[in-house]
Amino acid sequence: MAALQTELVDVTSQEVMLTFYRRLYPFKSIFAWINHQHTPARLFTHREFAFTIKNDVYLRYNSFNTVDEFKKNVCLLTPSRFEIGPVYTVRPKDRKTARKDAFKPVQRELVFDIDMTDYDPIRTCCSEAGICKRCWTFIAAAVRVLDTAIRDQFGYQHLLWVYSGRRGIHLWISDKEAMDLNDEQRKAVVNWLSVVQAGKESGKKVHVRSGSKPLPPSLRAALDELVDIFPDLILDDQDCFGSEKGYESLLDLIPDPKIVDGLRELWTSDPTSSSSDKWADLKNQIKKCYPQKDNPKRAILSASMEDIILQYTYPRLDAEVSKHRNHLLKAPFCVHPKTGRVCVPVDPSHIDEFDPSAVPTVGQLLRELDAIGSSNEHGAEHHSDWERTSLKPYVDMLDKHTQGLMNEVRREKREMDTSW
Amino acid sequence: MFKGAEQKPRNLQEHPQVAYYGTLQYPHRLNFYDKPPLFDVTVEEFETCALDRLRILAEIESSAARNRSWEETKSVTHTQCLKYLPLSNNSATKMDLNAQRRKDHLGHFVLRLAFSRSEELRRRFVKAESTLFRIRYENDDSMERQQFLDSRDFNWILVDKDEMSEYRKELSSVSENEKFFKVKWTRVPDLVEKRRVFLKGGWAYVPAREQASVVYQDFEVQLMGALEMTNRALPRLDEDNRLLPILDNLCKGFLSGVPSDWVASAPGKEGEITADMVDDIAKQHYPLCMKNLHQNLRKDHHLKHFERLTYGLFLKVLGLSIDEAITFWRKSFTGGPAETKFDKEHKYNIRHSYGLEGRRANYPAKSCQQLLVSDSASYGCPYRYFTPDNLQTALLSAYSSQGLKSSDIPEVMQTVRSKHFHVACTRVFEITHSQYNVKKGEGVGSGESVTHPNQYTAKSMEMEKAVKENLKGEMGMEID
């Protein structure tokens, strides 16, 4: 039924998008969130916006002085989506008046992008653009691990998680220190947090330790979390080692030929045994081959089992997005052009309950608007019709997040004032 | 050889003038260059100090371009330092420590003036200077190094006992039995990247053995900041045109990316062509197609695939050995978009074109015929693919220094219009080699016309060599 209804509204049509921007898009909230205060500051006025308009024309380096100008232009251009970039030294629209080397990005939220496609080599339920509740578990695990790690290790507090509208999730970190990071420091964060090196070759390998030395403490904490979900997600739900291709890639990760040969023999004769059985086989095989507990081989093998768990469950980041300040990222509350779903904020503490297919679509929202209808038709144009639709809880979530940010900015300002 | 001097900022503040002119002007061999030199110097000293330091920085840059290992770089730099800028430990009582450290101090600041003016110069200067600092830091006597570290506030916090025991488990997996320092993690991104620290709440717990990392990082950040400030202040310099020419001269060589321009480098063995010589050869002996590629490479620090292939094979036939070719390309890409990808991607292709990878074929350089049908303005024959306007401009800018006058242009353009591109190229050769008595119609020798870029270049170089040898013969032993 839901699928049928979505088809009724053509997401790509200009009219639909225009109505969406005029009546539903929470410009004020977005403004407050990127501006960190109520009066327009450099964080907003020197900020780049990039629009994708019809025929895939891409307009970069737009900037606006006020939120009204911002809204007016978005409605004028009715982009299918738009992206938020960095704060530059000069207003991006005036960049041609500045010397070439004087136009540089200076600040930007620290952003992360996790995309389901990076999990294609391991997930068995969907592939490419598809996503279901089952593969969302990967994302949920990634969110939990990253959210904890970033708060605890880097000490950042203002994290906004946003569903990307299809099969991924974005993270925007707005702490002052995070905004100020240079590219080198961003790269360091990414590498600190990356375990599975992304690449086209499917044999993504985990390189986090030297020899069989213990895991670094940051990963130890992540592993403790991931060990819990590994049996449910990888062994039962996804059944990653069920097929021949699946178990061969598992065997590739085991550094001991004796064990590999034993297991391959076992599994070739019974290729359909479940992943849990295979995982148990692996444990038994290790015990059988190296019965003494203090055998150094045992240490190597248990280290490699930990690495396997990391490889299958640890967050896979799209590193390029995070490394450079001038990378653009789709703004929250945009509509995904393929699915029609709105990119809504997600509460990381309830990430497991989040269902991507329950996210409102633009068609659904417009029908809700129609339903509340023409009762006050002759009033002035409504700027916050979203309050009366199912978009409301999500906008409230963003506003609450922004409130925390603003409180901190205000506190800082007060401290500066009194320091005289 | 290393320099040492840094007057401690603290001393300076406590007894400004006394400390400055006192015996402890530079108590440490290492110097963070917080304070500019305030003493009088002669213009000559100004220049020699800078030149000597430049030689060392040039060696460091070329070490990086030649992919020398850290140990090699260290020993090469060490040798250069002994020669041009010796800097002794405090224990070396026989040396005039003060003079050594003063020279180091002065040279550094003169080069700051010279290299602050563009982003690229600043970046390269910081890179070379911080490498020099690292080498000196590593070679320094551990006692003196500690004294130096104590003399400056690096704004790190020693992790106390309580905290040590709170995070005992985590810290011990980073490093056992060591003191730890706490700094904001943003100051040690290199350590964070390699997971060599423990991170908590934005603080990086750095083990004592990684302390140097913090020092280097500080040195770089501070120097970069200082250079940017110098850049802004430079236009307001009340200058009497004695110093500016020197500064211009200093940074010119640096810009062209060839250390030999900074300082004349040792010429290669007889007949051998080195990476450093390519610029000169390009200026005097290249046909227009190769000049065009060379200029684009210098301008963008990058060439696209077919451009690289065409130019790379040309250089191979010109006589660049594989090692020199890699050096040449690595240097040329420095600062360009593909700098970091060099080893991964381009090195293989260069080796491939030398027949050292893949099918190991010995590829010949592209001939005029191939360039004429390549259908590309970027690496094809410019006489064919440039628009007439662009061609005229390109010809004049490329060859006017070799005697091509605007009055020669109509003739060349006429042949281009009648589609005799190789005739046009040959004619340009004749005009630009008239100093060697090449007359119209003689072509590149006995009436031969240009058929291959390498033939053009080889003939041109031959002529120059013949003239030089004649000269030598005539003047006998008088010239050296």
B81 is in an annotated binding site: no
Q: Is residue B478 part of a domain?
A: no
CA nearest to B384, candidates B259, B287, B303, B463: B287
Residues B200, B140 share a domain: no
Distances in Å between the Cα of A88 and the Cα atoms of A63, A64, A96, A106, A185 are 10, 13, 13, 5, 18
Q: Which residue has the higher pLDDT, A167 or A152?
A: A152
Tens of pLDDT, residue by residue over B114-146, are: 888 888 788 889 999 999 999 999 888 888 888
Q: What is the pLDDT of residue B225?
A: 92
Same domain, B182 and B69: no
User: A418 or A192: which carries more pLDDT confidence?
Assistant: A192
Does residue B146 share a domain with residue B163? no
Residue B113 lies in a domain: yes
Q: What is the mean pLDDT of chain A?
A: 86
Lowest mean per-residue pLDDT among A183-187, A372-376, B91-95, B467-471:
A372-376
Give CA torsion, residues A396, A401, A403, A407, to 10 deg.
Answer: 170
Q: How is residue A293 written in tokens? A: 């507990």
Of residues B169, B194, B199, nearest to A153 (C-beta): B199
B208 in any annotated domain: yes
Q: Using CB atoms, which residue from A185, A208, A214 is nearest to B186?
A: A185
Interface of A with B in 177-216 (CB under 8 A): 177, 181, 184-185, 187-189, 191-192, 208, 214-216
Q: Which residue of A153, A154, A191 is in closest CB contact with B193?
A: A191
Residues of A in contact with B201 (CB under 8 A): 152-155
Given pLDDT bands bounded at 50, 70 and 90, which one contains residue A1? very low
Residue A213 C-alpha, separation from nearest chain B C-alpha, in angstroms: 9
What is the reported pLDDT for B8? 39
Please tell me which residue of chain B has the smallest CA distance to A217: B170
| B444, B419: one domain | yes
Does B49 show up as a binding residue in the annotation?
A: no
Chain A contact set for B173 (CB, 8 A)? 214-217, 220
Q: What is the pLDDT of residue A43?
A: 95
Q: Are strands A168-173 and A110-115 parallel, antiparallel or unpaired?
A: antiparallel
- Cα of B223 to nearest chain A Cα, Å: 17
| Enclosing domain of residue B184 | 157-212
Cβ neighbours of B174 in A, within 8 Å: 216-217
| pLDDT the model gives residue A365 | 92
Both B172 and B315 in one domain: the answer is: no
In the sheet that holds B203-207, the strands lie side by side as: B157-158, B180-184, B203-207, B198-200
B180, B195, B341: best to mutate for the A interface, most A CBs within 10 A: B195
pLDDT (0 to 100) of residue A376: 54
B385 plus B403 within the same structural domain: yes
For all residues of chain B together, what is the average pLDDT? Answer: 81
What proportion of chain A, given as a percentage, has pLDDT over 70? Answer: 90
CB contact under 8 A, B195 and A216: yes
Q: Is residue B477 part of a domain?
A: no
The pLDDT value given to residue B62? 75
Residues 136-155 of A with CB under 8 A from B: 152-155
Please tell me the least confidently modeled range out of A371-375, B154-158, B311-315, B341-345.
A371-375
State the smallest CA–CA distance between residue A155 and chain B in angstroms.
Answer: 4
ipTM: 0.84
Q: From the list A177, A188, A214, which residue is nearest B192 (CB)? A: A188
Nearest Cα to A41, choosing from A420, A418, A415, A412?
A412
Please judge whether A188 and B190 are an interchain contact, meaning their C-beta atoms are less than 8 angstroms apart.
Answer: yes
Residues of A in contact with B341 (CB under 8 A): none
pLDDT at A381: 55
Asked whether the beta carbons of residue B202 and residue A156 sit closer than 8 angstroms, the reply is: yes
Q: Residues near A209 by Cβ (< 8 Å), separated by ≥ 6?
A: A215, A216, A303
Residue from B126, B168, B174, B193 to probe the interface with A (highest A Cβ count within 10 Å): B193
Model confidence at B479, in pLDDT bands (50, 70, 90)? very low
Whole-number pLDDT of residue A153 = 94
| Burial group, residue A193, by CB count within 10 angstroms (0-12, 13-18, 19+) | buried
Rg of chain A on CA atoms, in Å: 25
Which chain B residues are within 8 Å of A217, Cβ to Cβ?
A: 169-170, 173-174, 198
- Minimal Cα distance from A220: which residue of B? B170
Cβ-count burial of A15 within 10 angstroms (0-12 exposed, 13-18 middle, 19+ buried)? exposed
In a domain, B381, yes or no: yes
pLDDT recorded at residue A212: 61
Residue of A153, A187, A215 with shortest CB distance to B193: A187
B-chain residues near A155 (CB < 8 A): 200-203
Q: For residue A215, which residues of chain B lie inside 8 Å, CB to CB?
A: 173
Q: Which residues of chain B approach chain A closer than 8 Å at the C-beta?
A: 118-119, 169-170, 173-174, 185-186, 189-190, 192-195, 198-203
| Residue whose structure tokens are 């506003």 | A399
Residues of B in contact with A326 (CB under 8 A): none
Q: Do B335 and B458 fall into the same domain?
A: yes
Tell me the three-class secondary structure of chain B, residue by residue: CCCCCECCHHHHHHCHHHHHHCCCCCCECCCCCCCCCCCCCCHHHHHHHHHHHHHHHHHHHHHHHCCCCHHHHHHHHHHHHHHHCCCCCCCCCCCCHHHHHHHHHHHHHHHHHHHCCCHHHHHHHHHHHHHHHHHHHHHCCHHHHHHHHHCCCCCCEECCHHHHHHCHHHHHHHCCCCCEEEEEHHHCHHHHHCCCCEEECCEEEEEHHHHHHHHHHHHHHHHHHHHHHHHHHHHHCCCCCCHHHHHHHHHHHHHCCCHHHHCCCCCCCCCCECHHHHHHHHHHHCCHHHHHHHHHHHHHCCCCHHHHHHHHHHHHHHCECHHHHHHHHHHHHCCCCCCCCHHHHHHHHHHHHCCCCCCCCCCCCCCHHHHHCCCCCCCCCHHHHCCHHHHHHHHHHHHHHHCCCHHHHHHHHHHHHCCCHHHHHHHHHHHHCHHHCCCCCCECCCCECCCCHHHHHHHHHHHHHHHHHHHHHHHHHHCC
Please report the domains of chain A, with CATH numbers, ordered by start residue. 2-111+160-186+317-418 (3.90.920.10), 196-313 (no CATH)
More confident residue, A378 or A251: A251
* Tens of pLDDT, residues B268-296: 445 678 888 888 888 888 999 999 899 88
Residue B289, marked binder:
yes
Q: What length does chain B have?
A: 480
A301 vs A138: CA distance, rounded Å: 25
Q: How many domains is chain B partitioned into structurally?
A: 3
CA quadruple B457, B459, B461, B467: dihedral, nearest 10: -160
Contacts B185 to A, Cβ<8 Å: 154, 188
| Residues B44, B179 within the same domain | no
Q: What is the pLDDT of residue B366?
A: 86
Q: Known binder of ligand: residue B251?
A: no
Do the Cβ atoms of B192 and A208 come within 8 Å? no
Of A156, A191, A217, the CB nearest to B173: A217
User: Which of the pair, A52 or B466, is modelled with greater confidence?
Assistant: A52
The answer on B290 and B423 residing in a single domain is yes
Residue range B386-408: average pLDDT?
Answer: 86
Shared-domain flag, residues B165 and B91: no
Are A214 and B173 an interchain contact pair (Cβ–Cβ within 8 Å)? yes
Check residue B14 and give its pLDDT: 45
Summarised one tens digit per residue, pLDDT across range A226-250 is 998 898 888 888 888 888 888 888 8
Q: Does A224 touch chain B (CB under 8 A)?
A: no
B55: domain CATH number is 1.20.930.80
Closest Cα in chain A, distance from residue B9 (Å): 27
Looking at the complex, report in whole angstroms how far the Cα of residue A64 sits from the nearest Cα belonging to chain B: 29
pLDDT at residue B63, as a whole number = 77
At which of B171, B196, B212 does a domain end? B212
Q: Looking at the complex, report in whole angstroms how far the Cα of residue A317 sits from the nearest Cα belonging to chain B.
A: 15
Q: For A177, which of B169, B195, B202 is closest by C-beta distance?
A: B202
Q: What amino acid positions of A are annotated as catalytic residues? A: 48, 113, 115
Q: Which has more pLDDT, A156 or B46? A: A156
- Residue B426: pLDDT over 90: no
Q: Which amino acid is at A280?
A: A
Closest chain B residue to A184 measured between Cα atoms?
A: B189
pLDDT for position A373: 67
Residue B227 sits in the same domain as residue B183: no
Average pLDDT over residues A62-87: 94
Residue with more model confidence, B260 or A377: A377
pLDDT of A182 reads 92
Is the pLDDT at A364 greater than 70, yes or no? yes
| Residue A211: per-residue pLDDT | 60
How confident is the model at residue B95, as a pLDDT?
75
Q: Which of A185, A317, A322 to mutate to test the interface with B (most CBs of B within 10 A)?
A: A185
User: B180 and B140, same structural domain?
Assistant: no
> Which pLDDT tens digit goes with each residue over B351-382?
888 888 777 777 888 888 888 887 777 888 88
Please determine, for residue B475, whether its predicted confidence score (pLDDT) is greater than 70. Answer: no
| Comparison of pLDDT for A398 and B168, the residue scoring more | A398
B266 lies in some domain: no
Smallest CA–CA separation between B224 and chain A, in Å? 14
**Cα(B358)–Cα(B352) distance, integer angstroms:** 6
For A188, name the nearest residue in chain B, comparing CA atoms only: B193
